Every structure is written in C-alpha cells, then in structure tokens.
Amino acid sequence: MRYLPLNDADRAQMLEVIGAASVDELFIDVPPAAHLTGPVDLPPHAGEMEVEAQIRALAAKNLSPSRAAFFIGAGAYRHHIPASVDHIIQRSEYLTSYTPYQPEIAQGTLQVLYEFQTQVARLTGMALANASLYDGSTAAAEGVLMAARLTRRRKAVLSGGLHPHYRETVETLAQAVGIDTEALPPEVDAEAAVLRHIGPDTACVVVQTPNVFGTATDLSKIAEAVQAAGALLIVVVTEVMSLGLLKSPAEMGADVVAAEGQSIGVPLSFGGPYVGLFATRDKYLRQMPGRLCGETVDAEGRRGFVLTLSTREQHIRREKATSNICTNSGLCALAFSIHLSLLGQEGLKRVAKINYAKAHALKDALMAIDGVTVLTPRFFNEFTVELPKPAAEVVEALAQKGVLGGVPFSRLHGGGGFENWLIIAATETNTEADQAQFVAALTEVLA
C-alpha cells in the first residue's frame, strides 16, 4: 500500500487557506533553471543482487584509507579505534543516537553523558562541558553566539588559522542573527594577528591551535589582551588528540573551547557524523548551549542522573533558547567516552607522543626532497608544506601510487594564492613503510 495521506480535495483546501493557486506557486522563489521539468533520469528498478553488484563496483573506485598510505588530516584524523569500542557502544543499554526526551528513563545513557562531560572538562581544563554538539564547527559557531549574548556586542574576529569550513559555518550562523564577522586572511602562524583587530565592539576572538596549517600556539598573551578588551577568547581544537601533549586551552586562558572530538573513538566515515565538544567557564553556565547532564539522588537517596538546566533549551525557551541549532551526538559521544576511558590519562599521553614523533619524522624526511619547503614552525601531528607545483595535481599523482598524501589548502579555501600548499598529517596509524612509500612517491612526482 502506498502511503498517501492527502487527496486532491485536501490540497485544494490547504492552498485556499494560504491563498495560493497551486502547489507550484509555493516554489516561485526557486530560480526556473533549478526547476525539474521532467522525471529524474534514473534507470528503472533493479533486483537487490544487481543493485548490490553495481554499488560494490562503484565503491571499489574509492581508494579507502585502509588500503593506502594515508596522510590526510585537516580537521578529520585517522586514529586507531580499539575493537572493544564498537562492541561496547552496541550494548542495548547505550545504543541510541540521541538523548531521549524522557531522559531519566535512560540512566545508562545519562551516566555516559555525565562521564563524557567530565572527560571533556578535564581534557580542556575547563570547569564545565556540555553533553556534546553536532561537530566542531557548529560548536565554534555556538561559542560566537554565546559570546555575543554575554557581551551584548555584535562582532567576532576570526583568525586566519581557523579551518575554512569552521569559518564558513560561523559566518553562516552569525550573519543570520546579525553578528558581524571579520575573517583574517589565511596565514601559517596567524593567531597573534587577531590582536590588531580587537575593538570596543568585539564580542569574541576565535583562534585555533593547532591551527589549520598545523601550527601550535601558546595563546596566553592573546587571551590576556582579548579579555582586557572585554571580549571572550574562543579556542578551536580540530585535533583533540593534541590535548594529550599540548598545554590545555584553560591553562592558556580560554573562555570557550570548541573542539572536534572525532579523533577519539569516531571513525572518518566520509566526514560524519562527528561529535562537537563545548566547554566553558563556570560563570557562563546559564548561557551555555546544548544539553547538560547532572548528578543527583532519587527519593530514596540513591545516586542517579538527570538532564538539568533545561530551561535554557529550545523545547522550553523557544526562540530565546541558548541554542536553536544544537543537538547532541549521543552515539559519537558514547564512542568518545569509551575510547578515552580505555586509553586513560597515560594512554592518551602515549598516543599523543607517538603522533608527535611520527609527524616530526615525516617532516624531516619530506624536507630532504628537492622543492619541498616546510612552512609550519611548531606543530603536533600535522604541518603544511609548499611544493614547486599545484598541490591538487601532486595529490592526484600520489593517489595513483597508492598514497593519500594530504589535503591541498586550495580545496578548503576558495581564494587564490595557495595552490602549492599541502597540509599533511601523520598519526600513530602510520607505519615506517607508509612513510617510505610517501617519500618515494613524492620524490618521483616532483622529479
């Protein structure tokens, strides 16, 4: 049976109420060129086996990370995820993609989110973390909106080291609520440049460390200057594994940390779903976006977990909620929490050190190739090089040789002038053979 809830008479009645002559009239804002004039050109239906065979053939055209020497980062990182993570997240006490709207029924989910918040707070050093957001970029945008509410100022300064996808997400959401953004031009060692752009109308400054070019920056001086001007410092972290080794954002004076948690527990998955981490100072609790899980006791005095401070949220405060774009990424947060629990504090440090060592060894090896200039001065597991020819072409040629050799910056940034810049990451998953293959392939491609 086909499910057709409306008949023509229903439609006519609805159109009459809103004063439209036809359904087509509802689409007049869509430019004619984008209208569909006939049926979509698709083959007729096929049997399940045929479809499977066809899709499998298409999928085989991909070069998957597991079959290549893989050096891609720029916001999404390949790390080892223990098999136990996948096993544990599928337990029925946990398996849910969302925090339930009758939350207290799901004590297992709530306890995990509570532990997750504790982990995020300890990782970033901040007093307070929420139960996660969509991803790092929306977390950054939420930070900007929160800063505008707190300061009642309407301008955000975005560092030239901010990942361009994050910049675009912030710009999209900020302009919709009348917040101006000033995005500084891309620069490898860019974070301190924000200092020249802070004014009396600045609500916040968004910086990133390690930034999109891999540069790690001590933000302490920047934090002092930003706060002296009455603005908030929002620190973006796209590679959360770096927090196992680098100074925490809180130690450097961050007011808000907006991070991508994918590196811990979440596979690359063609770009999502990922998990946004959001942490801030205690005093901003009531302006923080997103769900918050709290510990309490039940009527009999037993420990239990609740969602708390929900009056900030959209199902109660509607358009005045602290966020109307947020959700939490329950399943990814669960995976994050389990992976981090398995690693522990020492394990995280150890993995972080391996990342650092692999990336620095790779840098030394690549530097020895004629025509390769390393641009990034201080880094964790990712750095940017300048090549003697367009990076997009080099990356294609490397892929032919079974090497996924990084992300050309021109792929992320629309403006010209960066065609020869290549962002390269190395993690604990890269073997010495991977590195040797990369060095040999790049040497050949540039010869």
Partner 1 sequence: MRFSKEHEWIKDQGDGTAFVGISNYAAEALGDVVFVDLPEAGRVVKQGEAFGVVESVKAASDIYAPVDLEIIEGNPELAGDPEAVNAVPEQGAWLVRVKITDPSQLEALMDRAAYEDFLGTL
Place of tokens 């790390």: 79
**Closer residue to partner 1 in complex, CB, 45/318:** 318
Which of 30, 316 has the CB closer to partner 1?
316
Nearer to partner 1 by Cβ, of 20 and 316: the residue is 316
How does DSSP assign 217-263, residue by residue? ---HHHHHHHHHTT-EEEEEES-GGGGGTSPPTTTTT-SEEEEE-TT
Pick one of 56, 196, 315, 320: the residue that binds partner 1 (CB under 8 A).
320
Smallest distance from the beta carbon of 415 to partner 1, in angstroms?
40
Please report how close the Cβ of residue 309 comes to partner 1 at its closest, in angstroms: 9
Kindly tell me which of 287 and 443 has the beta carbon lying closer to partner 1.
Answer: 287
Number of residues that bind partner 1 (CB under 8 A): 6
Q: Which is nearer to partner 1, 148 or 391 (CB)?
A: 148
Q: How far is the C-alpha of 308 from the C-alpha of 295, rounded, in Å?
A: 9
Pair of tokens at residue 220? 């302490």
CB contact burial 140-176 (16+ within 10 A = b; e otherwise): bbbbbbbbbebbebebbbbbbbbbbbbbbbbbebbee
CA–CA gap between residue 287 and residue 284 (Å, rounded): 5
Q: How far is the CB of 308 from partner 1 (least distance, A)?
A: 10
Using DSSP's 3-state secondary structure scheme, residue 355 falls into helix
By the 8 A CB rule, do 337 and 343 touch?
no
Cβ neighbours, 10 Å, residue 45: 7
Min dist CB 227 to partner 1, Å, is 16
CB 165 within 8 A of CB 149: no
Whether the Cβ atoms of residue 114 and residue 306 lie closer than 8 Å to each other? no
Closest separation in Å from C-beta 389 to partner 1: 57
d(CA 81, CA 88): 12
Is residue 35 part of the contact set for partner 1 (CB under 8 A)? no
Nearer to partner 1, 122 or 317 (CB): 317
Structure-token pair, residue 103: 């939350």
Q: Which is nearer to partner 1, 291 or 312 (CB)?
A: 312
- Residue 286 touches partner 1, criterion: CB under 8 A: yes
Among 312, 358, 363, 413, binds partner 1 (CB under 8 A): 312
Measured from the CB atom, the residue of 176 and 316 that comes closer to partner 1 is 316
Would you say 149 or 221 has its CB closer to partner 1? Answer: 149
For the CB of residue 259, give the shortest distance to partner 1 in the complex, in Å: 27
Confirm or reject binding of residue 196 to partner 1 (CB under 8 A).
Answer: no
Cα dihedral value 69, 338, 124, 188, nearest 10: 10
Burial of 29 (0-12, 13-18, 19+ CB in 10 A): exposed
- 311 lies in the site for partner 1, by CB under 8 A: yes
Please report how close the Cβ of residue 317 comes to partner 1 at its closest, in angstroms.
6
Q: Smallest distance from the beta carbon of 305 to partner 1, in angstroms?
A: 18
Beta bridge partners of residue 182, listed in sequence order? 157
Task: Determine if 247 is a binding residue for partner 1 (CB under 8 A).
Answer: no
Smallest gap from Cβ 63 to partner 1, in A, equals: 51
DSSP 47: -
Q: By C-beta, is 97 or 311 nearer to partner 1?
A: 311
Comparison of 104 and 396: residue with beta carbon closer to partner 1: 104
Stretch of residues binding partner 1 (CB under 8 A), selected from 240-248, 269-277, 312-320, 357-365: 312-320
Kindly tell me which residue out of 149, 317, 349, 401 binds partner 1, with binding defined by CB under 8 A: 317
Per DSSP, the residues of 307-340 read E--GGGSHHHHGGGSS-SS----HHHHHHHHHHH
Pairing state between β 403-404 and 69-70 = parallel
In sequence order, the 6+-apart residues with CB closer than 8 A to the CB of 392 are 408, 410, 411, 419
Q: Does 79 bind partner 1 (CB under 8 A)?
A: no
Report in angstroms how near the CB of residue 33 gets to partner 1 at its nearest.
Answer: 44
316 binds partner 1, rule: CB under 8 A: yes
User: Which parts of this chain interact with partner 1 (CB under 8 A)?
Assistant: 286, 311-312, 316-317, 320
